[in-house]
A = this chain, B = another copy of it.
Amino acid sequence: MNEKNIIQLSCPMPGFDFDVINLGHGSGGVLTHKLLNSGVFDVLKNDLLNTKHDGAVFELNGKLAFSTDSYVVNPVFFPGGNIGELAVNGTVNDLAMCGAMAKYLSLAFILEEGLPIEEFWQILNSIKKSADKAGVQVVTGDTKVVEKGKGDKIFINTSGIGIMHEKAAIGFSSIEEDDLIIISGNIAAHGIAIMSKRQGLEFETDILSDTCNLNFTIKKLLDRFGTLIHFLRDATRGGVASVLNEVAKDGGFGVEIRQKEIPVTEQVNGACEMLGLDPLYVANEGVFICIVNASVADAVVEILHQDGNGINAAIIGNITTGHKGQVVLQSNIGGRRVVNMLPGEQLPRIC
């Protein structure tokens, strides 16, 4: 485990009489109850979770969003975060990209036999911390254990329910000709941070994952600009290139971007060159694409610059009715080329 990743435990680990997860922790019997009752419920506690029902019951009214993601990132601890905060932020952000504020999360673990309890505890504490930061509650959960060699330390699924912002009208069908395309920050940090620690690829760098919750940032934009925000998508697996290709294909427009406007740090750029990667395809976990009516683009960028998650935001391109279904990049040296969707796999298990 990386030293940077030693997490301040908000809840100290109780004295378990076991050091590693074993198959009994997934039995539904004594050991499962021990694991849950002597700690997990204490860390995550809230009124809904405390009922210990098969599910959580609550009153909600109105337009809701519902999203799910499984997290299989490798390594589990990486510079700038771990799988726990990724699992919270990722689903909070998926909801935000629908125009919703996350309210309730489910949390399901698939643990591999032999996972050190201490690592599990650190991840659990990160989940709690990230959930608190995003203003979301973990209200229901599940724990399964698989035999050694049938999983990989820990996989986490979070599903989330969010309440739609009343002014949100986000979707492919809201995109219009001449809309401008904004990116919220420096790209490709998450993917490079993971790769720097991946077995067989390790290299020295200070690059940290950009994982963070974007829900409050999105709320600011929707509060102010409402339906003039046409489309939102976080550029995770497949990177910026994949999101823009989805826009071109599912939105039915052409997409134009200018390489010189796309924010990338020198360090990330250098690492990408070393690895032979195009940063446009590298995964992000705290960067989103925002397609807006041209009249508000400058104001959107201005608001993002004032937000901790958007200080490097920039307008990177526009929507056109030309070259429908294609993303075209104007390169730094003046040429134009089509940016395709990621054809194969860049690096598995980036999130």
Contact = CB atoms under 8 A, between A and B. Distances in A.
A161 interface: yes
Given A151-B150, A172-B52, A144 B66 contact: no
Nearest to A348: B23
Nearest to A68: B106
B55 A94 contact: yes
A63 B68 contact: no
**Integer count of this chain's copies in the complex:** 2
A95 interface: yes
Interface in A18-42: 22-24, 26-33
Interface residues of A, number: 87
Contacts of A250: 52
A89 interface: no
Nearest to A239: B28
Contacts of A56: 65-67
Interface in A156-172: 157, 159-162, 164, 170-172
A139 interface: yes
A285 interface: no
A236 interface: yes
A319 B238 CA distance: 56
7 contacts: A30-B341, A32-B238, A60-B62, A68-B159, A147-B349, A150-B151, A159-B159
Interface of A: 22-24, 26-33, 51-72, 74, 94-95, 97-100, 104, 106-110, 139-142, 144-147, 149-152, 155, 157, 159-162, 164, 170-172, 233-234, 236-238, 242, 246, 250, 281, 283, 340-346, 348-349
